[in-house]
Chains A and B, each alone.
Chain A
Amino acid sequence: MFFTYLRRELAGRRKQTAIVSIGMALAIALVIIVNSVSSGVQLAQASVLGSVYGVGTDVTVTQTPTAPEEGAAAGGRQRFDFGAAEGTTADGTTSVSQSRLDADLGTSTFDATALDTVGAVDNVHAAAATLALRNTTFNGALPGSADMPAAAPTDDAATGAERPEGGPDGAGGSSFDVDSFTVLGLDPGGEAVGPLSAVSLTDGRSLATTDAGTNVAVLDSSYATTASLTTGDTVSIAGTDFTVVGLVSAASADADTAANVYIPLDVAQSLSGLTGQVSSIYVQAASSTDIEQVQADIEAALPAATVNTQADLASSVSGSLANAADLVKNLGLWLSLIVLAAAFLIAILFTISGVTRRTREFGTLKAIGWSNGRIVRQVAGESLVQGLIGGAAGIAVGLLGILVVNLVAPTLTAGATSAATVAGPGGPGGRGFGGAAPAVATSDVVLTAPVTVSVVLLAAGLAVLGGLLAGLVGGWRASRLRPAEALRSIN
């Protein structure tokens, strides 16, 4: 009787069934699409962050840059000093070249013993330290000293002094060239966590434990292309030649990796004069539930450090991806909640309206002996099926929407400031050359909307919840009808 009555009611009251089901379907579809796009945005953010921080990094430890002490070089400004005897002179032209390796712009270094402190924190699964550096090479050609005029000429014709010669233009002129690239010193054997954990090896090999103390380098493949370098070539860092042993690229084809050149940490410290110093520590927690505790414990152990979680770092993602994330988080979430609430409300109101319209029917059923429980079950069953029809339609529409998103595959641009500079620019990172902005890894990310079983289950659960909620409210209303009053109202 239950199913016969249910089927007849839903078929006999098609308009109400359609309205409730359509409302529920729209809400469910919106929830599925928003949820899926939200997952896609999170994946995109993770992809962007992964290219900078590495896969599996839960927490990063840096140190906020401080203002330079009085008397120190303002803002860490780079200087190139040449003695009178430096350079080589040929054909009246003196060529000078100098290469410097310093802490990267906006980067503050701190004692490497912090790595041991972090490693001793409970629930730290792995930790690795890096030193972010920038190599700047100055090349110049200027006239030889013999060609330089003794004093500023006053009147060439009157004094009879000769015009200057030499220099790159042969007329006493000068020419300068500055080359700059980022260098990251890291533990050559620690690929489990850190920047190299997210990259793909495209040629040669990666750094190995045995590379400690040796002048070997791995290059970002994009940088290698622009610098015309490949495996087996040498790259000069701080005037020292490094053998390129491998090329790596970011997981996303359009993204750059965290640095242009990767070298062993001890070599980086030695060449830069930052012995015993690091700029970032990458930490992997034992489980996702431990992240907050790990962050708090590190903050307690290293009060001067800046400790960021992936959630904190996500806020450093900029570009249209950040706009999409904001859109999904704000508009999408609220819109889906509002539509869902509206759909539930519509279902409840229609069910109550239906019960009111069927007062005579329920009064009659009670008169012939139907119990309240049987009537509540009947009303709840009808609403539940309406919810399920809406849920099924909503899942279909939602999946269609996700398909459309994936077919359109909008490309979002994203930028992520590296951990070393998240702490804040303006420290000792000011450069005479090489740009004044913090290093930002920018990339294009294709937004995909993944379909997960959990999303479908969530949608089905919401449909059941909506149907049951409407049914229980309607059933409660029906159960409160007194048979005598229900019959009196129509007789």
Chain B
Amino acid sequence: MYVLTNVTKKYEQGKRTVTALKNVSLTIPDGQMVAIQGPTGGGKSTLLQMLGALDRPTDGTVSLGDADLSELGDGRLGRIRAQEIGFVFQGFNLIPTLSALENVETALAPLGVSSADRRERASAALASVGLGDRLGHLPDELSGGQQQRVAIARALVKKPTVLLADEPTGNLDEGTRDEIMDLLEGLWREQGLTLILVTHDTAVARRAQRRLLIKKGALTEVA
């Protein structure tokens, strides 16, 4: 379960200080599917980075289970990301020189999984997203939807408790968008993980159990 208490995040931009999050307090129970909406520059991605242990708040606390993400060092945060949090990005962020299988394997490398086990688990993850026949393909040889499926397989292969998706359908056409959302929703239901996605797309947001709106750093619940 996530618990955010009075989280404020400020950035220095030259001589200017930008407040990306203002006193955000939020609780997300385990297993919930949450959509975060808001205008560009409203603070969506910053909030997602706080939840993903990629950054620390300027003020306030962010807790995931028993871990206070606002206080832990880089090493511990890295281990939490490696074990508990899966990421899906708008631009897929696959490593262009690695095959689909090897891209998925990168998520298991920090966990000390043996080579054979890594290969087996990555193959199974790709099969679960419908890419069992594309293991050796490079990202360039896959469509946008297939690349996002590889990214989802990479996020889920380590069996995380949380899946964070930043505009997961932002670069996809409508048909592919629905396929990816069906996949994400199916995996969420199947694996019981917490799914938090940031989206501009109201159609995508409506599929979530809970919708949040963030505007100028302030968070509100959408009824």
Residues of A within 8 A of B (CB): 1, 4-5, 8-9, 11-13, 360-361, 363-372, 374, 482-484, 487-488, 490-491
A368 to B82, CA, bound (A): 5
Extra contacts, 11 of them, besides A5-B106, A360-B91, A360-B93 (Cβ < 8 A), are: A1-B115, A9-B97, A11-B97, A12-B97, A13-B97, A361-B95, A366-B78, A368-B154, A370-B82, A370-B110, A487-B49
Cβ distance A359 to chain B, nearest Cβ, rounded Å: 11
Report A-chain residues with C-beta under 8 Å of the C-beta of B106: 1, 5, 365, 368, 370
Q: Does B75 contact A (CB under 8 A)?
A: yes
Bound: A446/B68 CA distance, A: 77
In the docked arrangement, what's the CA distance between A186 and B127, Å? 93
Contact, CB under 8 Å: A368 / B107: yes
Asked whether any CB of chain A lies closer than 8 Å to the CB of B79, the reply is yes
Q: 12 interchain pairs (CB within 8 A)?
A: A1-B102, A5-B95, A8-B102, A12-B97, A363-B93, A364-B89, A364-B93, A369-B79, A369-B81, A369-B82, A370-B109, A490-B91
List residues 94-145 of chain B with CB under 8 A from any CB of chain A: 95-98, 102, 105-107, 109-111, 115, 118
State whether the Cβ of B23 lies closer than 8 Å to any Cβ in chain A.
no
CB neighbours (8 Å) of B55 from chain A are: 482-484
Please pick, from A12, A368, A370, A371, the residue contacting B96 in the complex, using a CB distance under 8 A. A12
Contact, CB under 8 Å: B98 / A5: yes
- Is residue B90 contacting chain A, with contact meaning CB distance below 8 A? yes
B interface residues (Cβ-Cβ under 8 A, vs A): 45, 49, 52, 54-55, 74-75, 78-79, 81-83, 86-87, 89-91, 93, 95-98, 102, 105-107, 109-111, 115, 118, 154-155, 166-167
Q: Across the interface, name the chain B residue whose C-beta is closest to A4.
A: B102
Residues of A within 8 A of B89 (CB): 364, 487, 491
Q: Given the complex, which residues of B lie within 8 Å of A372, measured CB to CB?
A: 74
Which A residues are in CB contact (< 8 Å) with B118?
1
Point out the residue from A363, A367, A374, A488 that lies within 8 Å of B45, measured CB to CB: A488
Nearest CB to that of A483 among chain B residues? B54
Q: A1-B105, A364-B89 are in contact. Are A369 and B110 (CB under 8 A)?
A: yes
CB nearest to B105 among chain A residues: A1
* Contact residue among B105, B109, B154, B166 (Cβ-Cβ distance under 8 Å from A374): B109
Nearest A-chain residue to B113, judged by Cβ: A1
How close is B68's CB to chain A, nearest CB, in angstroms? 18
**Chain A residues closer than 8 Å to B98, beta-carbon distance:** 4-5, 8
Which of A360, A367, A368 gathers most chain B CB within 10 Å?
A368
Q: Which of B75, B91, B109 has the most CB of A within 10 A?
A: B109
Q: Give the docked Cα–Cα distance between A364 and B166 (Å).
A: 13
CB < 8 Å: which of B49, B97, B107, B166 contacts A369? B107
Closest A residue to B198 by beta carbon equals A491
Does A491 contact B110, Cβ atoms closer than 8 Å?
no
Report the minimum CB–CB distance from B21 to chain A (whole Å): 13
User: Separation in Å of the B214 CB from the closest CB of chain A?
Assistant: 16
> With a CB–CB cut-off of 8 A, which chain B residues contact A1?
102, 105-106, 109, 115, 118
CB-defined contacts of B82 to chain A, threshold 8 Å: 368-370
Expressed in whole angstroms, the Cα–Cα distance for A1 and B113 within the complex equals 10
Contact B54 A367 (CB under 8 A): yes
User: Chain A nearest CB: distance from B13 CB in Å?
Assistant: 12
Contact partners of B166 in chain A: CB under 8 A:
491
> Shortest Cβ distance from B94 into chain A, in angstroms?
8
A462 CB, min distance to chain B CBs, angstroms: 28
Q: Are B78 and A371 touching (Cβ within 8 A)? A: yes
Interface centre among A4, A363, A365 (most CB of B within 10 A): A4
Residues of B within 8 A of A13 (CB): 97
Knowing A5-B102, A487-B54, the reply to whether A368 touches B95 (Cβ < 8 A) is no
A367 to B81, CA, bound (A): 7
Closest to A367 in B: B87
In contact, A371 and B93 (Cβ under 8 angstroms): no
| CB-defined contacts of B154 to chain A, threshold 8 Å | 368
Nearest to A360 among chain B residues (CB) is B93
Give CA–CA (A483, B49) in the complex, Å: 9
